[in-house]
């Protein structure tokens, strides 16, 4: 390769590597959002047949990450949580709210409220240390 081309190509490669590094650092600096759901099921059979499969499919399609879910909840202090608890992780509050405001979520939730009571909240995670 001619020297007149090698310096500009090396410079261009360095800029590309730096851009990838900056994007990676930016992505790491954004703390995740955690969504906590407490569910008190009033009709387990209907809930598991009519609501849960639809809700789970919508959650997966929206791109969250399920960190914990189930009925093995151990109260440690204060008022006990609902019998079912789930903890989901989202990349951002915008993505979480897009899922919550989606037509699919709202349609599924109309089914869910027939068979359960929900308490949900979100909390921003801490930035990486």
CB neighbours of 76 closer than 8 A, spacing ≥ 6?
none
Side-chain-side CA neighbours of 13 within 13 Å: the count stands at 6
CA torsion, points 81, 84, 87, 93, in degrees to nearest 10? -80
Paired tokens of 40: 């008190």
Place of tokens 């310096």: 7
- DSSP conformation class of 102: S
Model confidence pLDDT, tens digit, residues 21-43: 556 555 557 899 999 999 999 99
Tell me the per-residue pLDDT of 105-121, one tens digit each, with 9 for 90 and over: 999 999 999 999 999 99
pLDDT-derived band of residue 101, with 50, 70 and 90 as boundaries?
very high
6 pLDDT exceeds 60? no
Whether the CB-CB separation of 59 and 66 falls below 8 Å is answered with: yes
| Tokens, residue 44 | 């387990």
What's the pTM? 0.73
Do 117 and 39 touch, CB atoms closer than 8 A? yes
């Amino acid at each position: 390769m001619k020297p007149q081309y090698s310096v500009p190509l090396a410079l261009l490669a360095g800029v590309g590597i730096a851009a990838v590094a900056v994007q990676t650092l930016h992505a790491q600096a954004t703390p995740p959002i955690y969504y906590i759901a407490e569910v008190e099921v009033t009709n387990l059979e209907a809930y598991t047949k009519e609501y849960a499969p639809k809700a789970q499919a919508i959650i997966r399609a929206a791109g969250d990450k399920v960190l914990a879910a189930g009925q093995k909840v151990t109260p440690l202090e204060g008022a006990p949580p609902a019998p079912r608890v789930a903890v989901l992780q989202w990349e951002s509050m915008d993505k979480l709210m897009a899922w919550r405001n989606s037509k699919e979520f709202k349609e599924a939730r109309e089914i869910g409220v027939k068979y359960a009571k929900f308490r949900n909240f979100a909390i921003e995670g801490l930035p990486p240390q």
